[in-house]
Amino acid sequence: MSLLHPVVTRFAPSPSGAMHVGHALAAYVARRMADLHGGFCLLRIEDIDTMRTRDKRWIELMMEDLDWLGLHFDGNIMVQSSRFDIYATALETLRSMGLLYPCFCTRARLSAAAHDIARAPHEGIAPQRRYSRHCRSITPTEAAERIAAGEPHSWRIDMQRVQDLIGCPTWEDLRAGVQRCIPSACEDVILSRKDTPTSYHLAVVIDDAQQGVNLVTRGADLMSSTPIHRAIQALLGLPTPLYAHHDLLLDGHTGKRLAKRTGAASLKALRDAGFSAKQVMASIDRALKRGGMWSMEE
Ligand code: GLU
Ligand code: ZN
């Protein structure tokens, strides 16, 4: 496999709290991959969830933290909350292809159903396929009536239909090699809801293409989302970047995944505790060599 030139990577945080050492690792990996290949590393603020990211001070604190760490980015910063129109247009394209259906399930119903699936994995339901497609069988007439009556709903993508349309395209991870996207094995994810008229899955695909990102570096927790992204790229005629999913940080003492908001691992807390940026970056470097096991102690 050969990397495209120039390599364009990005760091795409969702600023809903203080930046954690795990975010620093993600930023560092993106920056380093760009630097290794003489390329560019862009910054994108993923703030489509306007409730969770309404406090803009998190962005300021994040910029301070990144500056303190010596992590800098190229070009203009893209801000997703200023791009809702663009996502809406793409959503309409998918709708006009007959790929969206309304889901009227309440949160309670969804968690009860997820529970049933988790208890019956032998029944042939892929574990990642959480949503039972319960609302897929609602007739268009009934759906239209319920929408007209003001019943709350979100819009899901019918991945079986996606497969009928695009088949099973491939994508490539730098570490794991060539992967095949099997749309029907993916969940019918939500692409739009009332309070958030787009979704991470839609926005990330559109913006990576818009920013010319050709190498997506991100945590291994998102590896299971990549087939969904690959499918959306195929549907919207967008290019497919290379991917490099990196290890997530684990607590060096317990081996457990560092909780997102573990106070002690916030960059601000490390800074306030007297650690230097150099020490923090060195701890990240060590963790990368130890499968993610992170500790400030050498
Ligand atoms: N905004 C996502 C997050 O903070 C990252 C998205 C991505 O890298 O694709 O988890
Ligand atoms: Zn439903």
- Residue 25: which CATH number? 3.40.50.620
Residue 224 falls inside a structural domain: no
pLDDT in tens, the chain (298 residues): 557 789 999 999 999 989 999 999 999 999 999 999 999 999 999 999 988 888 989 999 999 999 999 999 999 999 999 999 999 999 999 999 999 999 999 888 787 766 555 554 444 444 544 788 999 999 999 999 999 999 999 999 999 999 999 999 999 999 999 999 999 999 999 999 988 999 999 999 999 999 999 999 999 999 999 999 999 999 999 999 999 999 999 998 888 888 665 566 899 999 999 999 999 999 999 999 999 999 998 8
Cβ of 220 less than 6 Å from ligand 1: no
Residue 227 falls inside a structural domain: no
**Tokens representing residue 264 in the block:** 């002690």
Query: 97 and 195 in one domain?
Result: yes
3-state secondary structure labels for all residues of 239-269: CCCEEEEECCCEECCCCCECCCCCHHHEHHH
| Final residue before a domain boundary, out of 173, 199, 225 | 199
Structural domain count of the chain: 2
Q: What is the CATH number of the domain that holds 137?
A: 3.90.800.10
Cβ of 24 less than 6 Å from ligand 1: no
- Site to probe by mutation for ligand 1, drawn from 33, 48, 199, 200 as the one with most ligand atoms within 8 Å of Cβ, is 200
Query: 111 and 78 in one domain?
Result: no
Query: 185 and 96 in one domain?
Result: yes
DSSP three-state, residue 149 = coil
| Final residue before a domain boundary, out of 199, 218, 234 | 199
Query: 189 and 98 in one domain?
Result: yes
12 CA distance to ligand 1 middle (Å): 5
Residue 166 falls inside a structural domain: yes
Residue 150 Cα distances to 93, 136, 144, 153, 194, angstroms: 24, 19, 10, 9, 11
Query: 156 and 94 in one domain?
Result: yes
Give pTM, 2 decimals: 0.92
Residue 271 falls inside a structural domain: yes
Residues 90 and 199: their CA atoms lie apart, in Å, by: 11
Nearest ligand (C-alpha, residue 154)? 2
Query: 147 and 89 in one domain?
Result: yes
Closest residue (by CA) to atom 6 of ligand 1? 12
Query: 136 and 120 in one domain?
Result: yes
Cβ of 229 less than 6 Å from ligand 1: no
Q: Where are the alpha helices (DSSP H) in 153-213?
A: 159-166, 200-210
141-148 — which CB contacts under 8 Å span 24+ positions? Answer: 143/101, 143/102, 146/102, 146/104, 147/102
Residue 58 falls inside a structural domain: yes
**Domain membership of residue 258 as a residue range:** 8-82+247-294
Query: 90 and 59 in one domain?
Result: no
